[in-house]
Structure 1
């Protein structure tokens, strides 16, 4: 796509997103509703555009984490249901959400009481999903709190309690015991609410990992984000699912030299050429997310061993573990320390490469420090994403 301007851009494959959606729908009973999670800018794919692509394919329910994400979708004329997954803790936030008909989560007694007051004052319909904490420990209500909130809200004519949900802590692990314990706890809460005289129509606990491993936990709806973005959640899954990653981070060669064997590359001379080699400079560095990794504490001793092993194998530049850029059909190692805004790529002498050629770089979509230009492609060509009434921009963001 040589007509793309700028030195860095994202290519988002529309057909790949639709393919992933069909793969999910093929495993979903017709009675189960799909809630498409497009938080964090749809995992780097662009929330507005991804919502339009999915909406055109029949998805009518979306979920995001924060209010500003939901308001941006409404501003872009996304007319489907939009649910917030995080709490709203001020009158101003609640008023803004209710004014735009955004489905809110109630995760505490405080939020329930605040919603009761604000909805009555505004005299506007509020659609609500109650959040139960069954063992993740992030936020949500216990049994007693749920019953009290239900008692408070059920007599408010402005409030429609559409759903109740929880989030599993380790559904992707090989041990099902804790997930099953959470599920039993959740269904017991639902039963008790039903016995108290309140029937909640949409009960959901399945994220992408639960969706794959526990079809009996699909209930009335599933929340799918990772799978739509073309990735399998980390963990062990027996049943295969055919996904396509829609995301490619592209840049261009801005410098190209041939260096002799023995030349050092980068700060601290951490790389040395074994043979005469072409070396390309690309304008992508750790400021753009290259070579960055999530640095959570290892979950077990085995996890720690795996992390250390991968670091050691990457040190020896084994192709599977070293950073690789793709240039004109060649997989080429990124050598030396990655600079703040640039990186060095070792290219075989026989490769036909010139300044300005496209380079695909392994930047993780959720670790982008800032979003470059985003281009939506179909059959390899940039295209517009048509909505019922509006046309999305092909490109947005800063180059």
Structure 2
């Protein structure tokens, strides 16, 4: 297909809950669609970086509508009404929504507005870590979202299987594009440019060149396994004096880590907590391995990013992480909520430099082979072609 500017481009809307989901999970995708002849719009809550992202990606309009991440009936009804009005006014040919709240409200509003083509991307299942009434409410929201969509894609095969097991959709209703992932991995960007001891980040964060650094990148919340990571770290630091722990992320009040755990980490002279970094490449360059002991994950993109940087990874054996990690080849999977198993895996990699190198190299090769963004984009374009009128995608491009 040769890109050119059609007389009447197909209008598509990409909907997410918050701005960071658009700017982080959709890099390159709007520009790819634009090159195929689509007119691309985004819809999400206001947030930093959105205008610059829109300019860089050639987005026609970055619409902002407040969408609450937490369950908030009144605010959610207001958001639904505003989305409905936007979709009726703009008359998009296709609405593609993702992330839990943005996905639900986006699909429901598109269905109410009779948008002719509706695609939903399942990025995670928050209900998996909830109980009681909240779990039933989240189940119903996910079920309605998938019913309102013409096509449902999941970012990992294990996430798809879990959704089917939960009764959210019948087998065959949810597809996985290629081998999954949120948006592929930019291997040119995630390339190590300096050995860990010589990295700029180590100098910035006062990490000695000779230290062996265990890294973590993500929100500092209970749901990400920070309690278990802290417990495992206590065992590692006692047995291997030259190790340090680097945590890249910020705490969130919605799912707080116990104060005593957070206080212990902050007081530890061998722990660095510089907060979330806009340039994660620098953070990865300071690490020797990455641990992600999360309780739930849609895919675990950070695991692939670390692999692309030549780092071995440790993750929990749950949906999403199973797809991101080739167990025993590019990293190690451990049972969730098991601090002892996590510590054992960390100690194994800390003590075996050859194993770290072998897993890191295998991880880089796997990312280059299976997870380039262009592979995901071409697969999603085929999904669009399956729900748009026959020949519409070819005419657009």
Give the structure-2-normalised TM-score.
0.34
Structure with more helix by fraction: 2
Give the structure-1-normalised TM-score.
0.34
Structure with more strand by fraction: 1
Bigger radius of gyration, 1 or 2?
1
- Which gives a bigger RCO, structure 1 or 2 (Cα 8 Å, sep 6+)? 1
